[in-house]
Amino acid sequence: MTFPSAIVRIAAALAISVMPAALPAPASAQTAPATDWNRVVNQLPGGAFLLGNPKAKTRLVEYFSYTCSHCAQFMVDGMGPLRTGWIRRGLVAIEFRNAVRDPYDLTAALLARCGGKARFVTNHEALFNNFNAWMPKLQSYEETRDKSASTDQVATMQDIAEKTGLGDLLARRGLTPAAQKACLADKAQMQSVLAMTKDAWETRKISGTPFFLVDGKPQPSSHDWASLKPALPALPGAAN
């Protein structure tokens, strides 16, 4: 944990009167989702992004920071099982809320939002999946940058994106330098990110990132996939 300085389609068997009744479909077929909720992303009024069925019985909230190594590890360990086991079936929806810790985190947060709900989840996952590639560049940049060079926040974030590899990473995902510059200067998205951050650290007083809520209930002892999994609903027909 880090501290401050993120259905069911059932195939029907048709019975023919002159033949024995059809056998029940296998359990896997009975639980095949009619909608793959992994493909459904919405942006909520407060600015958070929601992956999955908006009407899922269980809402998982993750407060995250892009410069948080434990958040990156949760992506590696937890998002695969969450997607295939819970989100795909519409059982759980996950809401991503920023809890920004530093200028690098803020830069990444605004770049992740570039393209809106159509791009957010893939940008978000790309940033964490490449954490070990851009983090050393960030650390080197922090050690050598002239902290008095510019007082312009947008210019500072543009410099961070260019020199830490964040810009190149998202350029490979189709975000042009011009699009990135516009996103870093987007005051509405900035306001959303900072409001979520204030809610995280000052109102909810989260203890670090990642920090989870399950149906609005804080999970202060769950900081990784292994400790979060028991708080999720059991999967039908399988041990949780």
Of the pLDDT bands very low, low, confident and very high (cuts 50, 70, 90), residue 145 is: confident
Of the pLDDT bands very low, low, confident and very high (cuts 50, 70, 90), residue 239 is: low
Sole residue written with tokens 């793959």: 36
Query: Are the C-beta atoms of 106 and 193 separated by less than 8 Å?
Result: yes
Average the pLDDT over 100-124 and give the result.
97
CA 208 to chain centre: 16
Is it the case that residue 112 has pLDDT exceeding 70? yes
Q: What percent of the chain has pLDDT over 90?
A: 79
Q: Which of 184, 177, 120 is nearest to 152 (CA)?
A: 184
Of the pLDDT bands very low, low, confident and very high (cuts 50, 70, 90), residue 176 is: very high
Q: Mind giving me the DSSP string for 46-93?
A: TS-EEES-TT-SEEEEEEE-TT-HHHHHHHHHHHHHIIIIIITTTSEE
- The two tokens of residue 2 are 């880090």
Average the pLDDT over 162-173 and give the result.
95
Distance between CA 93 and CA 103 in Å, rounded?
Answer: 29
pLDDT digits (tens, 9 = 90+) for 6-64: 322 322 332 323 333 333 444 444 455 688 999 999 999 999 999 999 999 999 999 99
Mean pLDDT for the chain?
87
Higher local confidence (pLDDT), 125 or 1:
125
Lowest mean pLDDT among 56-65, 91-100, 141-150, 194-203: 141-150
- The two tokens of residue 101 are 């810790």
Of the pLDDT bands very low, low, confident and very high (cuts 50, 70, 90), residue 236 is: confident
- Structure pTM? 0.84
Distance between CA 148 and CA 65 in Å, rounded?
Answer: 25
- Could you tell me the strand order of the sheet in which 58-64 lies? 41-43, 49-51, 92-98, 58-64, 211-214, 217-218
Which helix (H) or strand (E) segment is 213 a member of?
Answer: strand 211-214
Which helix (H) or strand (E) segment is 42 a member of?
Answer: strand 41-43
- The two tokens of residue 11 are 């195939």
| pLDDT at residue number 58 | 98
| pLDDT at residue number 34 | 80
